[in-house]
Structure 1
Amino acid sequence: MKSYLAVDIGGTFVKSGMVRENGEIVATHKVKTPKTLDDLLHTIQAFCHSRPGVAGIAISCPGAVSDDGVVYGSSAIPYIHGPSVKKLVERRTALPVFVENDANCAGYAEMWKGSARGKKDVLVMVIGTGIGGSVFKNGLLHKGANLHGGEFGYMLLTPDVQDSNDVWSRVASTKALVRKVAKMKQMNPDSILGEDIFKMAESGDQACIQAIDAFYHLLAVGIYNLQYIYDPEIILIGGGISAKEDLIDEIDERLDRILEKIDLAKVKPKIEPCKFRQNANLLGAVYGFMLEHQNREL
């Protein structure tokens, strides 16, 4: 059975894992994200040397990734944007390399072994500091003309646009929730976490209760829009917030309220949490690698 080296490049850590072609993850390891591109390439080389016999390297990273492995856009890791990460790693390791956007990799994991398995038309949302995701049509990843397929967070929810703070990521992400509560309580946003807000709400804090209600409503509005734009079979929600047991019920309730007011709408979005969280990008990167090389062989 073939095994692959999977690498997930994040703003804080670079994670690696050995993933077998049946989807089994047999080893994971992480190190702090290097400060330079050369150090990153050296780190990936070291991962590779510690796992001899792999059939290839599958990389997940932020940014808009082209087919030839150039990472466009911007992120917390500026040095990966511009060069072909794919070609650089291939030169260092002499192995075939696949590189894909991290949210697309999370989507691949769900399509392969997760909550979207067996489905064709799927949206996967990842909610964290912003809102991103991936789009699948007829079971295939849709990257779009400008590699921005799945960038749901840039959607506008208000007709009165003032600045970038009006986009969905800035009003309905977990980071947006933290900013809102911090402003209401005149606190430093860095001193509070999303989990703290939910705990305070459970204790009866009215400011937190109000902010969370608005947060769920804005998520529901965006999901409603996505359903009627694309009409997927299912919309999956990932990111740290997806671990909350009542998340789906809360959004579902807000969707019911919206549908009650808009009598033209008859299709209710089907939403579920993503199956994979911490290792989703590793798993999905390998699935993307396997698909790409399978298509080349055909």
Structure 2
Amino acid sequence: MKLAVFDIGGTNLKCGYFGDDHNITCQKKYETPKTFKGLVKQMHRYLDTLLDIDGIAISAPGAVDDTKGEIDGISSVPYIHNRPIFHELEAEFGLPVTIENDANCAGICEVNIGAGKNFTNVAFVVVGTGIGGAVFINRKLYKGSHLFGGEFGLMSTADGLILSMQATIVKAAAKYVAQTEADDVDGEKLFLLADQGDKLANELIDEVYDRLAMGLYNIQVSFDFDAIVIGGGVSARSSFSAEVAKRLEAQLVEKKVEKIMPVVETCQYHNDANLYGAAYNFIEKQKKR
């Protein structure tokens, strides 16, 4: 099966060719168009460079409703929402089209060919600007009754905030800037400062580890996963998942439920996960047609 795969992001539109060998090649990246018409035009330009395409697989933000053929919710790409986008794209290109949420696509990739491929029940947790993810039960994506499965960042914490506001390096870096008036401190720089012995940087990162481990504790005692796979920008730091796992295990030990400790893995496909996941989602959906 030969597919054109697209990842619609708030900043960039990523494109690729998924061939019979299940590898993605011919990758291109463009600035995300400002309008739906512009998006279709850019997709046409990329498709014109390919031959013998069997379908189009798309990763996109929002709550994708396969039944309605629409993308609910809101995102930084507003024009893709609340319109019959499945029908519009299939009519435009004359090819079958599948669309799935971007975090779900990344999770689908990791469960099929990445860090979660040897497990049955998996939580895929994306730690970036906020926290999101996907839930897989018996290796099948569970989207929930309201298409809200995997929105881990909305879990409420004891002080009334949500996990996305407390357990990301992006937010920790913002706190560092607010407390020191330092310039140009992002997540990567915050880790560098901590490695150099900066006390505040270490305290803020320590808080992120603890808060995220608490979130994973709640996820684990709710679902009892075999594995939790961590993706997002922090996954580039090899020690991140191991540190979170250590703190998660400590919490489970404290509550005397350490026997349910999951394997905690770092994602394998990083920036390509959405494209591969979109392709595997297409293959799965075609089996059901």
Quickly name the TM-score band, shorter chain normalised. over 0.9
Structure-2 residue corresponding to 1:142 = 142
CA contact (8 A) 2:55 2:96 kept: yes
Structure-1 residue corresponding to 2:4 = 5
Residue segments in structure 1 that go unaligned for 5+ positions in a row: none
Structure-2 residue corresponding to 1:168 = 163
Is residue 252 from structure 1 mapped to residue 245 from structure 2 by the alignment? yes
Deviates more, 1:101-110 or 1:13-22: 13-22
Letter paired with 1:148:
F
Structure-1 residue corresponding to 2:60 = 61
Alpha-carbon distance, 1:264 to partner: 4.8
Tell me the SS of whatever aligns to 2:166. Answer: helix
CA contact (8 A) 1:60 1:282 kept: yes
Structure-2 residue corresponding to 1:268 = 261
Residue segments in structure 2 that go unaligned for 5+ positions in a row: none
Could you list the per-position Cα deviations for residues 185-225 of structure 1 after superposition, in whole angstroms to 9, with x for gaps in the alignment? 1346xx32100000011111111000000001111101111
Q: Distance in 1 between matches of 2:172 and 2:283?
A: 38
CA contact (8 A) 1:133 1:150 kept: yes
Structure-1 residue corresponding to 2:95 = 95
Q: Distance in 1 between matches of 2:37 and 2:169?
A: 33
Deviates more, 1:135-144 or 1:84-93: 84-93
> What does 1:108-187 correspond to in 2, within 5 Å?
108-158=108-158, 160-161=159-160, 166-187=161-182
Q: Give the number of aligned pairs.
A: 288
CA contact (8 A) 2:174 2:186 kept: no
Q: Distance in 1 between matches of 2:165 and 2:104?
A: 21
Structure-1 residue corresponding to 2:31 = 32
CA contact (8 A) 1:131 1:152 kept: yes
Structure-2 residue corresponding to 1:279 = 272
Structure-2 residue corresponding to 1:107 = 107
Deviates more, 1:256-265 or 1:282-291: 256-265
Could you list the per-position Cα deviations for residues 139-194 of structure 1 after superposition, in whole angstroms to 9, with x for gaps in the alignment? 21111111101111110121x42xxxx11111112322222212221346xx3210
CA contact (8 A) 1:130 1:174 kept: no
Is residue 226 from structure 1 mapped to residue 226 from structure 2 by the alignment? no
Structure-2 residue corresponding to 1:203 = 196
Q: Distance in 1 between matches of 2:36 and 2:107?
A: 26
Structure-2 residue corresponding to 1:80 = 80
Is residue 217 from structure 1 mapped to residue 213 from structure 2 by the alignment? no
Structure-2 residue corresponding to 1:71 = 71
Alpha-carbon distance, 1:279 to partner: 0.8
CA contact (8 A) 1:45 1:92 kept: no
Q: TM-score normalized by structure 1? A: 0.93
Q: Distance in 2 between matches of 1:134 and 1:262?
A: 26
CA contact (8 A) 1:69 1:98 kept: no
Q: Distance in 2 between matches of 1:95 and 1:264?
A: 50
Q: TM-score normalized by structure 2? A: 0.95
Q: Distance in 2 between matches of 1:13 and 1:213?
A: 32
CA 1:150–1:22: 2 relative to 1, 3 Å:
farther
CA 1:208–1:267: 2 relative to 1, 3 Å:
same
Q: Distance in 2 between matches of 1:228 and 1:256?
A: 12
CA 1:116–1:21: 2 relative to 1, 3 Å:
farther
